[in-house]
């Protein structure tokens, strides 16, 4: 079993070096010394009896033999991980899982779900990158991306883990201020006359709303637009205008009265929250267990 584990680690190091194109970067990403990375690559080359990588001071590239056997190594590694998880009778998960998520979903919903997972698996380490832009999973050595989308990146494999509903909200302070001048918001087209706050993901701000079989698209001139949902939330709480917010952020403020649900009978389009992973990366038992956990956790803990 020790020799198998050594070869499994060597295969993981080889695949990471192919992705990172750097022994030093792989050493950092896999938390090992650079000489150890070199040793594992040499172990792979001795095992397969071929030279896998061209090494120069400037760059590392696959040899033609390395290119030819890369897919087979990835397949073997996936099968070896499956075998190891079968014979590991303790069912004890261990190792590092690297995740990326948006700031807003990360702090509001992902943290309690991750805490629950870590309580169940004390030997698993979690490394989280919070960013609203879509990260290159392979380049950053990220195992799992939690993304909200209508159409996820086709190069990634995704499991839907929750639905992202949205609501129109404004603070009582704002609504009281405009009641005397502009009036109440009673129809989607009334929004054109109001201060609306935009999420800076598109050049134009269009809110698509539906009520049963009626549809309204409202094109807005947003004086304030921000590229991050929590900052938009706080601008709304400060009375700066009407905003489209995900329910995973807004619900708690609607419940305590800090925000009012505007046009509650008109529903914005639902999006799907996916757990995404690269099709080029084999799924470790840790990542599989985490995806299943998130799916189950969010089903039991609606926001």
Mark whether 134 and 64 lie in a shared domain.
Answer: no
Mark whether 178 and 246 lie in a shared domain.
Answer: yes
Q: Tens digits of per-residue pLDDT, 127-186?
A: 999 987 666 676 677 889 999 987 777 778 889 999 999 999 999 999 999 998 999 999
Cα dist from 223 to 168, 204, 232, 236, 292, whole Å = 17, 12, 12, 13, 42
Mark whether 104 and 230 lie in a shared domain.
Answer: no
* DSSP annotation of 108: I
Contact by Cβ (8 Å): 149, 104: no
Q: Which structural domain, as residue segments, surrounds residue 20? A: 2-87
2-20 and 64-87 are packed helices; what angle lies between their axes, rounded to 10 degrees? 130
Q: Tens digits of per-residue pLDDT, 49-60?
A: 999 998 876 778
User: Has residue 2 got a pLDDT over 80?
Assistant: no
Cα dist from 200 to 100, 192, 221, 233, 249, whole Å = 20, 18, 12, 13, 17
Give the pLDDT of residue 246: 96
Give the pLDDT of residue 298: 97
Number of folded domains that form the chain:
3
Q: Tens digits of per-residue pLDDT, 211-255?
A: 999 999 999 989 999 999 999 999 999 999 999 999 999 999 999
Average pLDDT value over all residues in the chain: 88
Show which of 66, 87, 108 is a domain's final residue.
87
Show which of 30, 54, 87 is a domain's final residue.
87
In the chain, % of residues over pLDDT 90 = 59
Mark whether 243 and 190 lie in a shared domain.
Answer: yes
Show which of 87, 106, 137 is a domain's final residue.
87
Which residues are bridge partners to 187 per DSSP?
Answer: none
Average pLDDT for residues 276-301, to the nearest whole number?
Answer: 87
pTM of the model as a whole: 0.73
Q: Tens digits of per-residue pLDDT, 33-46?
A: 999 999 999 998 99
Mark whether 179 and 56 lie in a shared domain.
Answer: no
Average pLDDT for residues 202-210, to the nearest whole number?
Answer: 83
Around Cβ 48, how many Cβ atoms within 10 Å? 17
CATH of the domain at 51: 1.10.10.10
CATH of the domain at 216: 3.40.190.290
Average pLDDT for residues 13-34, to the nearest whole number?
Answer: 87
Q: Name the pairing type of β-strands 267-268 and 260-262.
A: unpaired
Give the pLDDT of residue 84: 66
Give the pLDDT of residue 56: 75
Give the pLDDT of residue 90: 55
CATH of the domain at 157: 3.40.190.10
Q: How far from chain centre, in Å, is Cα 167? A: 22
Contact by Cβ (8 Å): 100, 128: yes
Mark whether 263 and 179 lie in a shared domain.
Answer: yes
Mark whether 170 and 159 lie in a shared domain.
Answer: no
Residue 21: pLDDT band (50, 70, 90) is confident
Mark whether 82 and 131 lie in a shared domain.
Answer: no
Over the range 184-214, which residues count as b (16 or more CB within 10 Å of their CB) and which as e? ebeebebbeebbbbbbeeeeebebebeeeee
Give the pLDDT of residue 292: 95
Mark whether 264 and 170 lie in a shared domain.
Answer: yes
Mark whether 124 and 191 lie in a shared domain.
Answer: no
Mark whether 229 and 276 lie in a shared domain.
Answer: no
Mark whether 260 and 174 lie in a shared domain.
Answer: yes
Average pLDDT for residues 254-261, to the nearest whole number?
Answer: 98
């Amino acid at each position: 079993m020790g020799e198998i584990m050594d070869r499994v680690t060597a295969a993981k190091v080889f695949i990471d070096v192919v992705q990172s194109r750097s022994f030093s970067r792989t050493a950092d990403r896999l938390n090992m010394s650079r000489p150890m990375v070199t040793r594992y690559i040499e172990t792979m080359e001795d095992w397969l009896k071929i030279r896998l990588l061209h090494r120069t001071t400037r760059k590392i590239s696959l040899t033609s033999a390395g290119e030819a056997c890369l897919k087979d190594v990835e397949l073997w590694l996936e099968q070896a991980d499956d075998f190891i998880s079968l014979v590991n009778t303790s069912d004890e998960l261990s190792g590092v899982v690297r995740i990326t998520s948006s700031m807003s979903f990360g702090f509001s919903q992902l943290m309690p779900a991750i805490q629950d997972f870590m309580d169940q698996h004390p030997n698993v380490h979690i490394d989280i990158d919070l960013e609203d832009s879509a990260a290159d999973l392979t380049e950053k050595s990220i195992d799992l991306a939690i993304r909200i989308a209508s159409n996820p990146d086709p190069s990634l494999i995704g499991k839907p883990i929750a639905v992202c509903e949205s609501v129109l909200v404004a603070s009582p302070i704002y609504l009281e201020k405009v009641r005397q001048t502009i009036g109440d918001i009673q129809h989607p087209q009334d929004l054109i006359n109001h201060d609306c706050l935009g999420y800076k993901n598109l050049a134009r701000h269009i809110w698509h709303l539906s009520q049963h079989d009626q549809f309204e698209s409202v094109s807005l001139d947003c004086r304030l637009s921000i590229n991050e949902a929590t900052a938009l939330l706080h601008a709304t709480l400060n009375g700066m205008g009407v905003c489209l917010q995900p329910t995973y952020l807004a619900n708690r403020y609607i419940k305590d009265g800090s925000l009012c649900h505007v046009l509650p009978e008109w529903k914005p389009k639902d999006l799907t929250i996916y757990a995404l992973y690269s099709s080029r990366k084999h799924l470790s038992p840790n990542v599989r267990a985490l995806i299943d956990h998130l799916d189950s956790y969010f089903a039991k803990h609606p926001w």
